[in-house]
Amino acid sequence: EAGVAQSPRYKIIEKRQSVAFWCNPISGHATLYWYQQILGQGPKLLIQFQNNGVVDDSQLPKDRFSAERLKGVDSTLKIQPAKLEDSAVYLCASSNKPSGLTTGDTQYFGPGTRLTVL
């Protein structure tokens, strides 16, 4: 079974520029998550999709971050304009169950995109 794919793996941009990340979840997984992981910290949920609908985007800075999952499969996360504090690893995860988050509802993570904002 192929894992969660993300691209690019690394991105360096200057502040105020725009950037987009792409995620392809495990085939058949209805739930998709985007996390931000700052160095030395645990991941922080940015947005959760159930198919193509948003379940939770309460921690997404909506003035600069946007995400979509138009066909309920692939997803893109965009930052416009980027700030220095956006430097982090952006992780995509997927799950084959609605996020009741009970035992066994494992989230499978991609390798992440490391973003550096200069």
Partner 1 sequence: GESVGLHLPTLSVQEGDNSIINCAYSNSASDYFIWYKQESGKGPQFIIDIRSNMDKRQGQRVTVLLNKTVKHLSLQIAATQPGDSAVYFCAEPKGPNAGNNRKLIWGLGTSLAVNP
Q: Give yes or no for residue 26 binding partner 1 (CB under 8 A).
A: no
Lay out the site mask for partner 1 across 48-67 (x = CB under 8 A, - = otherwise). x-x----xx-----------
Binding of residue 107 to partner 1 (CB under 8 A):
yes
3-state secondary structure 22-52: EEECCCCCCEEEEEEECCCCCCEEEEEEECC
Cβ distance to partner 1 smaller for residue 46 or 82: 46
Smallest separation, CB 49 to partner 1 (Å): 11
Please state, in angstroms and rounded to a whole number, the distance separating the CA atoms of residues 39 and 103: 28
Give the H/E segment covering residue 108.
strand 108-109
| Contact status: 44 vs partner 1 (CB under 8 A) | yes
